[in-house]
Amino acid sequence: MVYRYEPKGVCSMEMDIEVEGNTVKKVEIIGGCAGNTQGVASLIAGMDIDEAIKRLKGIDCAGRGTSCPDQLARALEEIKEKNK
């Protein structure tokens, strides 16, 4: 299933996250720093949701208190809640 998430407090505008079971299949991040967001999306493809959250949650960008990776972790947490 594909989920759409609107990140808050960061440069990216939208995250489309495809999940199958408890596995991240594909992530597309629209906006933000293209190289970084593409890299993060590529690195977590095929990863267990819990592992991705553990690795990404709490990463800060320029003192904002969040970042694109942190927002992705928050999106994954929401997806887990919806799939309970």
Tell how far CA 43 is from the center of its chain: 11
C-alpha pair distances (Å), 21 with each of 1, 6, 45:
9, 22, 13
Kindly indicate the confidence band of residue 84, based on its pLDDT and cuts at 50, 70 and 90. confident
Q: Which domain holds residue 57?
A: 2-82
The yes-or-no verdict on residue 29 having pLDDT over 90 is yes
CB 37 within 8 A of CB 13: no
* CATH code for position 66: 3.30.390
Specify the pTM. 0.96
Report phi then psi at 59, rounded to 5: -70, 130
Structural domains counted in the chain: 1
